[in-house]
Structure formats: C-alpha cells, structure tokens
C-alpha cells in the first residue's frame, strides 16, 4: 500500500542527496541564503519532477500527453537545467526525446535569438569543425499526423486513441503545413532561425513496443506549402493493447517537436462476430 515510513525515508534522502543537504543547510532570514535556497529548490524540483514523469510515463504511456501542461513557460534557466538532466538520462529513450522536444520548444519561445538556438540540445554542437554553427530555419506551422491501414482506410479515433485491427499492415503519416487543420492529430510548431523560403525537416519514428524500420526521412519544401507526407509502416501485433508512437521532427540536427500518437490494437469485428456465434 502507499503509506510511508517517513523517518526511514527522510534519513535515506539526507544521506544520499547533496541538493537536499544544501536545501536544509540554507535556513534563516538572510536574503542571500533565501535566494540560494530557492535556487536549490528549483533544481530539486526539476530533478524530482523529471524522475516522477519518467516513472509515470513508463507505467502509464498516456501520461506523457499531459506533460506540456507541467513544463514551465518563460523560465529559460530552469528549462535549460531540465534539458541537461533529460539529455544526461538516456537519449535513446523515446520519453526522454519527447520531453527534450517539449523543452526545446519552450526554450525557443523564451529566447527567440540565434544565441538561444545555439545553446539548445544540439548533438553535433560538440563535434569538431562545427564551432557555433547554427542551422535552424525559421518556420511556423503545424505538425500533423494520421494513422491508416495500408489499404488507405483511416483509423477510427476513440477518446484520442487510433483503433487498428490485429495483424493488419498499418501506416502512420506525418507532415507539416502552414494552416491550422480543422481536425485530426496536430500540434503547433515554431522554429526560430535563418529566414529562407525553402526549409528541410527530418522525421523519425520511435516506439518501444512496435517494430518500425528506423531512420530519419527528410522533406524539403516551400514553407508556405504543405510538405509531402512521410510514412512509417508497421504490422499490428497479434495481441491486443495500447501502444504509444513518438514522431520526432528535426530541423538541422535539432529536435523541434515530438507528436505522440496512441494506437489501440484489437481483434477485427469479423473475429468478434464469429467468436460470439461459436459461443
């Protein structure tokens, strides 16, 4: 059950947590101590919240969908600290990539300057020969996604989850467009960078439970037009269940947006009818 042995827990935290030690030591009414204490608390909040979100998103994949509400706005120092924590955890983890995308997006909203773009999570930034390179391209529009069976039949959405029949070949598509769609899966995307008419975006799919052919696909398009679709195919498994698919969108080498698509795999209706007849 969820009741806690508080004294034991506190002792454990006190022994192994330098941030917690600093927080406890910084007591009193001295303004400097109070300011430092607040800074330590913010760091503790960032670390503890991210750990909590990773754990909740792993046990309840849909939790990730609510995270955009929890990530602070207009606080670039804290966002950058969170980004450093996320990128040190595990870059291969789809949830980490998703949170990094949200953080990058918030940072770019705080500091729309080229300096800020350079400070974000740029895997190539440490590579020799690319000092201070900034390759972001200005773009404002919408990242959209759809799910269909391979014969083109769109998946039905129930409570935000795409329903797909077992064993069917399926395709998840993603594209960018300047206008806000009237319906479907979409999210706003804004990139601050060099202003030019044609832009290049990269698209990757990531899912811990379904098999995809991994690799980045690129689209080069006029920023006032709809990009071509990027499709990722997979076969729905034979077992029913819900799966979370992450679509990561890159500009230059920077992750600028992640869309989360939930799909529910279930037996086709024909199977259910025949099962009930035989019963």
Partner 1 sequence: MKILLIDEDKASMAYYIQELKESGFEVDHAREPDAAFKFLDAGGTKYELIILDSALPPGQKYKEGKTDTGTVTGGLVFDDVRVQLPTVPILVLTNFPELDWIREARAKPNVVVVKKLDQMPSQLVETVREMVRNRKKG
For 113-268, where are the alpha helices, taking DSSP H only? 114-119
Q: Answer yes or no whether residue 72 interacts with partner 1 by CB under 8 A.
A: yes
Stretch (H or E) spanning 56: helix 31-59
Under DSSP, the state recorded for 154 is B
Q: Answer yes or no whether residue 159 interacts with partner 1 by CB under 8 A.
A: yes
Within 211-250, the residues that bind partner 1 by CB under 8 A are none
Q: What is the CA radius of gyration of the chain?
A: 22
Give me 13's structure tokens: 């935290």
Segment near partner 1 (CB under 8 A); pick from 48-56, 123-131, 164-172, 199-207: 48-56
When the beta carbons of 130 and 209 are compared against partner 1, the nearer one is 209
Give me 116's structure tokens: 């800020």
Spatial distance between the Cα atoms of 36 and 22, rounded to a whole number of angstroms: 9
Q: Answer yes or no whether residue 20 interacts with partner 1 by CB under 8 A.
A: yes
Of the candidate residues 32, 69, 182, 277, the single one contacting partner 1 (CB under 8 A): 69
Contact between 208 and 94 (Cβ < 8 Å): yes
Q: Answer yes or no whether residue 37 interacts with partner 1 by CB under 8 A.
A: yes
Within 73-92, the residues that bind partner 1 by CB under 8 A are 78
Q: Answer yes or no whether residue 126 interacts with partner 1 by CB under 8 A.
A: no
Of the candidate residues 21, 22, 36, 41, the single one contacting partner 1 (CB under 8 A): 41
Q: Mention every residue, 6+ apart, whose C-beta is less than 8 A from residue 108.
A: 116, 117, 120, 190, 191, 192, 256
For 77: left if phi > 0, alpha if psi spans -120 to 50, otherwise beta; the answer is: alpha
Q: Answer yes or no whether residue 52 interacts with partner 1 by CB under 8 A.
A: yes
Q: Answer yes or no whether residue 49 interacts with partner 1 by CB under 8 A.
A: yes
Contacts with partner 1, residue ranges (CB under 8 A): 1-4, 6, 9-10, 13, 20, 23, 37-38, 41-42, 44-45, 47-49, 51-52, 56, 59-60, 62-63, 65-66, 69-70, 72, 78, 159
């Amino acid at each position: 059950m969820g009741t806690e042995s508080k004294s034991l827990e506190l002792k454990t935290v006190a022994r192994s947590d330098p941030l917690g030690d600093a927080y406890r030591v910084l007591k009193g009414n001295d303004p400097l101590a109070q300011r430092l204490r607040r800074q330590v608390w913010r760091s503790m909040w960032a670390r503890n919240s991210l750990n909590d979100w990773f754990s909740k998103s792993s046990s309840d994949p849909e939790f990730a969908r609510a995270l955009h509400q929890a990530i602070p706005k207009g606080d670039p120092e804290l966002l950058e600290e969170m980004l450093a924590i996320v990128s040190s955890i595990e870059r291969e983890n789809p949830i980490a990539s998703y949170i990094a995308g949200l953080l990058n997006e918030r940072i770019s909203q705080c500091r729309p300057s080229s300096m800020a773009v350079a400070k974000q999570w740029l895997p190539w930034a440490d590579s020799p020969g690319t000092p201070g390179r900034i390759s972001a391209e200005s773009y404002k529009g919408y990242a959209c996604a759809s799910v269909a069976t391979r014969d083109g039949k769109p998946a039905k959405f129930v409570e935000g989850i795409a329903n797909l029949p077992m064993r069917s070949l399926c395709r998840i598509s993603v594209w960018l467009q300047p206008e806000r769609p009237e319906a479907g899966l979409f999210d706003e995307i804004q990139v601050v960078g060099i202003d030019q008419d044609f832009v290049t975006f990269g698209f990757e799919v990531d899912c811990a439970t379904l098999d995809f052919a991994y690799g980045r696909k690129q689209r080069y398009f006029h920023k006032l037009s709809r990009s071509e679709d990027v499709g990722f195919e997979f076969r729905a498994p034979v077992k029913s269940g819900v799966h979370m698919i992450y679509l990561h969108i890159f500009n230059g080498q920077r992750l600028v947006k992640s869309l989360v698509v939930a799909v529910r795999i279930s037996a086709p209706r024909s199977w259910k009818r025949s099962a009930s007849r035989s019963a």
